[in-house]
A = this chain, B = another copy of it.
């Protein structure tokens, strides 16, 4: 995208600001308007018993008229409950995290909680992620859902000791934090099995180290393992970055082609698979004619039939739902201790991988 200059945005108009109604009304304002005490207002609006029906009506009318919205900060202080879940996702712009976010929000409200989200950006330094969790804690959220392929579990544990926490979307087996994830080993192996069954004997796997992505390293290790079991020759290529960076992809694909005889490339994500396919295209090659390509994640819009990526689908809405259930169960004392749940994914039969 070209850099936009200041000239690109034209002020269309501006009107003098008349912020009305003065400061935000408090419970005292409502009490005064309704001619009752603040205690009565509190009970009337929260539906607590001990208030006459006609008083409730009167109070509600006064609250509506003033546009009263109770101060959640004060409520949190006094009631020692915020009914809020803190969600951290590494990169909201990625469809993978975006879908998780939506699932969290839906299930949280189904369970009677609000979800407050803090986000990073793809290139977030780890230290910033820790600070984001701290921000969430400062809001006194009652539970924490952490979605980051990068933040080490040791950085999460201190928070988990204080607040019910779940690590979502990545394999984690630490006994002190709950986790919900799509079975990465099963997924990596399943997809690799498919590639082996298609008859490929020399396969390039794009790998991560655990430092750069805990999730993706687990699945790519499983791919390598399963391919080797099928006596397939495996060539590993490091791709430490998160999404598919153009130059990175180009150089990796060139190296793969230069290695000679490779008939399939297994990318660690759909995003990377797209970058690989783009690189191949630039080199005048295409999948699966010249070389097979697989992705991983299986989330819209990557799954469009136009691209037909052969991939492995992670049931994100299910992961989201179970994650929220886990923290809420912890909060409400319905569950004791950390639980680890691994959910099965499934193969997406695309058109980018074919028999040799």
Interface residues of A (CB under 8 A from B): 1-2, 4, 8-21, 24, 67, 69-74, 76-77, 82, 91-95, 97-99, 101-102, 105-106, 114-121, 134-135, 137-140, 158, 161-162, 164, 173, 175-176, 180, 271, 274, 277-278, 281, 300-302, 304-307, 313, 315, 318, 322, 330, 335-344, 346
Report how far A135 CA is from B82 CA in the complex, Å: 12
Residues of B within 8 A of A271 (CB): 301
Report how far A326 CA is from B251 CA in the complex, Å: 41
Residues of B within 8 A of A134 (CB): 69
Residues of B within 8 A of A336 (CB): 16-17
A101 near B92 with CB under 8 A, answer yes
Partner among B15, B99, B120 whose Cβ is within 8 Å of the Cβ of A93: B99
A210 to chain B, nearest CB (A): 18
B119 near A101 with CB under 8 A, answer yes
A276 to chain B, nearest CB (A): 10
Q: Which 8 A-B pairs have the closest CB atoms?
A: A17-B337, A12-B340, A73-B73, A117-B117, A72-B138, A92-B101, A15-B175, A93-B98
A9 near B162 with CB under 8 A, answer no
Q: Name 27 interchain pairs, CB-CB below 8 A, sorted by A.
A: A4-B344, A8-B318, A9-B318, A9-B322, A13-B173, A13-B338, A14-B339, A15-B176, A17-B335, A20-B162, A21-B162, A69-B138, A70-B138, A71-B77, A72-B135, A73-B82, A73-B139, A73-B140, A92-B102, A93-B95, A94-B98, A98-B98, A114-B118, A274-B304, A274-B306, A278-B306, A307-B307
Residues of B within 8 A of A114 (CB): 118, 135
A11-B339, A93-B95 are contacts. A71–B16 as well, Cβ < 8 Å?
no
Partner among B4, B24, B137 whose Cβ is within 8 Å of the Cβ of A315: B4
Give the residue name and chain of the B residue nearest to A338 (CB): B15
B119 near A344 with CB under 8 A, answer no
Residues of B within 8 A of A302 (CB): 301
Partner among B74, B330, B340 whose Cβ is within 8 Å of the Cβ of A17: B330
Give the residue name and chain of the B residue nearest to A271 (CB): B301
Residues of B within 8 A of A274 (CB): 301, 304, 306
A343 near B121 with CB under 8 A, answer no
Give the residue name and chain of the B residue nearest to A246 (CB): B305
Residues of B within 8 A of A24 (CB): 137, 140, 162
A305 to chain B, nearest CB (A): 5
Residues of B within 8 A of A337 (CB): 14-18
A260 to chain B, nearest CB (A): 25
